[in-house]
Copies of this chain bind each other. A is one copy, B any other.
């Protein structure tokens, strides 16, 4: 009960602070009044209790269990291993496995670092690893099988707590309890030490995720005084050129400190050698550096750390720290983090089983982690041009895993986070403005683009936001950016695509999936152009959106690689996932990828009946266990028949039944996927959560609708899993979904009513939701044929 009140207080506090009331006024006058009324009037539930950050940390989920706040710049989480640790000249760990730094299966913890992707299939980050130890100082992390050979420690899940905004673990080898929480830009650590005159805090500046020998380009550290350190680290990782600045503050002065340099050589030691730079020397720079700070601790003494990040400067990091956390009350910061989460989670209140609630709110939690804030409290951020910019009137975000997230996550934001969606579009357009390539982001993080995966799906996100009315900038400028990006002839076969309407198989190993994705993106551009009455653009791009037809092979009935001479490639197996013209998928899945025009697809594929049968085959075919083993991001767990849910390209496919006369099959299949692919366990996710895309699919589908073609204002109806969902929209309207006669067996929809009026086209419009109202599904165990 106390917890709930304190969450409420912090929610109110933070809301009020947004209106710039001063703190004293808030505490003494406004808060007590509001609190009184809010306590009785508020419908806010304690939903943080249903979030289990452990979900997805085993096997393929690639989520992390540590502490973060919604869309926070800091993701403070334990590393159980990464590729980062060089032991006897060899790296241990599995680079793909450790995308999030933590694997539930592991028995040891290496330390706690401040940046993590959530659910990705490639990685980077893992900045500023901190590990508390005691006893003999060890700067090597040691190995998982011999944790005592280094600073790492054994731990047990029994002594581990992971909550939204809070993480706690007992580090057995050091007899230290570690607790973590965070604000948007600051991680807070609380370490409870035993009595020791050899207590240490290690700051490993060489550690990182997806590390390799030369990933750390440069490190600078400044020991300002005996409680404050500032500095920065540059990496050449997945982000080619990336600098993260930090400010680190201790609750207690260290008694001594030092650094060890692992640089093979350093120029000009001559006069630098005047100082013993290894110990208590405050101006540190080099490529490979580890630091340690020594303390005497009493039994049960807590040493706390505030660790702030900035993309811009040490000064900004310090400013972020001072703005976001005053004092050393860890529990207060934790309560504030959880109140913030609770407020966000309450945007959708669902009625369903506890286990479904855990799935739902953990999905909501995972959906609200990425993209991450990439603006300092003073509004400054680093742009793609590596210059410092000021975000005027918006929060700049980074970490756009767009090939994944354009499908359901950004549409989900347009529904429940329209304000942030607006800012995300602005962030993408700022990226465009700063791009010497004149391209919108493809897969961008920390002022870099790594161009991962295919398509130019920024245009889908932008079109969807503008079509749905969530973007308040200049839409014509946004359209121009989309058009320029889509005409970047040098990029990934766009030139061929523009000239021929397809990409010759000789020119690209992913020629077909690119053509299909471009065609969809072009359709999204056309929708935007239509809305803006830009007829020329509309005509050009609606024509391009038909290009999927050029890869459709009437003979085989599949999307198939085409050669430059216009003939289809001879060697072709639609099940094959390797080098057959498709990225992370096969023709069986990708042949359904015409989300913007299922009707035409069905037509070329021989009509509704044949098409439904193909869908049946996809979901029921038998593939040997190891079939997808050689394709990145696809594993056994994520597969139903030949349908791959653990990866994105077919995420809309179950909804395509709506275009056939066998709609009920989709309903059953959606419920099957919901139950099979999402479980409230560490290994509960059937594939990479991919920055929330898997989670967004879950929430849409659990509520009974899904955006098959973002850029359209239409959602296709499915089969809701929850009994009831109440969405509190930012426009203060409420939209309720109710599933009457809901049960695990009653997966078939008999009737759907919107505000009392029956829906027969298996869809609703975005405006239907934003207007507020009620969508009622009547469920049954019997298919409606």
Q: Is the CB of A238 within 8 A of B268?
A: yes
- B-chain residues with CB within 8 Å of residue A236 when the two chains form the complex: 218, 266-267, 285-287
From B214, B232, B436, B491, A223 is in contact (CB under 8 Å) with: B436
- B-chain residues with CB within 8 Å of residue A212 when the two chains form the complex: 267
Q: Is the CB of A217 within 8 A of B217?
A: yes
Check A220 for interface membership: any CB of B closer than 8 A: yes
- B-chain residues with CB within 8 Å of residue A533 when the two chains form the complex: none
Can you name the residue of chain B whose Cβ is closest to the Cβ of A438?
B282
- B-chain residues with CB within 8 Å of residue A315 when the two chains form the complex: 387-388
Q: Is the CB of A450 within 8 A of B240?
A: no
From B234, B437, B451, A218 is in contact (CB under 8 Å) with: B234
- B-chain residues with CB within 8 Å of residue A314 when the two chains form the complex: 385-387
Q: Is the CB of B268 within 8 A of A451?
A: no
Check A275 for interface membership: any CB of B closer than 8 A: yes
Q: With A236-B266, A240-B285 as given contacts, are A272 and B451 in contact (CB-CB < 8 Å)?
A: yes
Shortest beta-carbon distance from A445 to chain B in Å: 12
Check A103 for interface membership: any CB of B closer than 8 A: no
Q: With A314-B386, A451-B272 as given contacts, are A267 and B491 in contact (CB-CB < 8 Å)?
A: no
**What CA separation (Å) do A215 and B267 show in the bound complex?**
8
Q: Is the CB of B491 within 8 A of A437?
A: no
**What CA separation (Å) do A241 and B270 show in the bound complex?**
16
Q: State the number of copies, please.
A: 2
Can you name the residue of chain B whose Cβ is closest to the Cβ of A490?
B275
**What CA separation (Å) do A690 and B776 show in the bound complex?**
86
Q: Is the CB of A385 within 8 A of B222?
A: yes
Q: With A222-B386, A282-B436, A436-B224 as given contacts, are A491 and B275 in contact (CB-CB < 8 Å)?
A: yes
Check A28 for interface membership: any CB of B closer than 8 A: no
**What CA separation (Å) do A562 and B76 show in the bound complex?**
56
**What CA separation (Å) do A452 and B230 show in the bound complex?**
26
Q: Is the CB of A220 within 8 A of B237?
A: no
- B-chain residues with CB within 8 Å of residue A492 when the two chains form the complex: 274
Q: Is the CB of B271 within 8 A of A313?
A: no
- B-chain residues with CB within 8 Å of residue A272 when the two chains form the complex: 240, 450-451
In chain A between 265 and 313, which residues have their CB closer than 8 angstroms to a CB of chain B?
265-268, 270-272, 274-276, 282-283, 285-287, 313
**What CA separation (Å) do A69 and B414 show in the bound complex?**
57
A121-144 vs B: 1/0 string, CB under 8 Å? 010000000000000000000000
From B238, B268, B436, B452, A450 is in contact (CB under 8 Å) with: B268
Check A453 for interface membership: any CB of B closer than 8 A: yes
**What CA separation (Å) do A452 and B270 show in the bound complex?**
8
- B-chain residues with CB within 8 Å of residue A223 when the two chains form the complex: 436
- B-chain residues with CB within 8 Å of residue A388 when the two chains form the complex: 313, 315
Q: Is the CB of A267 within 8 A of B238?
A: yes
Q: Is the CB of A450 within 8 A of B266?
A: no
Q: Is the CB of A271 within 8 A of B451?
A: yes
From B238, B282, B435, A437 is in contact (CB under 8 Å) with: B282
- B-chain residues with CB within 8 Å of residue A451 when the two chains form the complex: 271-272, 274-275
- B-chain residues with CB within 8 Å of residue A387 when the two chains form the complex: 313-315
A196-231 vs B: 1/0 string, CB under 8 Å? 000000000000001010110110101110000010
**What CA separation (Å) do A46 and B134 show in the bound complex?**
73
Check A735 for interface membership: any CB of B closer than 8 A: no
Can you name the residue of chain B whose Cβ is closest to the Cβ of A234?
B218
**The 8 A-B residue pairs with the shortest CB-CB distance in the complex, in nearest-first order:** A282-B436, A241-B285, A271-B451, A271-B452, A240-B285, A238-B268, A222-B436, A315-B387
28 A–B contacts, CB within 8 A, in A order = A210-B267, A215-B267, A217-B218, A218-B218, A218-B236, A220-B241, A222-B385, A222-B436, A230-B385, A232-B386, A236-B285, A237-B267, A238-B267, A240-B266, A240-B272, A240-B285, A271-B443, A271-B451, A275-B451, A275-B490, A275-B491, A276-B490, A283-B435, A283-B437, A313-B387, A313-B388, A314-B387, A315-B388
- Give 14 new A-B contacts, CB below 8 A, not counting A240-B266, A241-B285, A314-B387: A210-B267, A218-B218, A220-B386, A222-B386, A230-B385, A236-B266, A237-B267, A238-B267, A240-B272, A240-B286, A272-B450, A274-B451, A275-B451, A314-B385
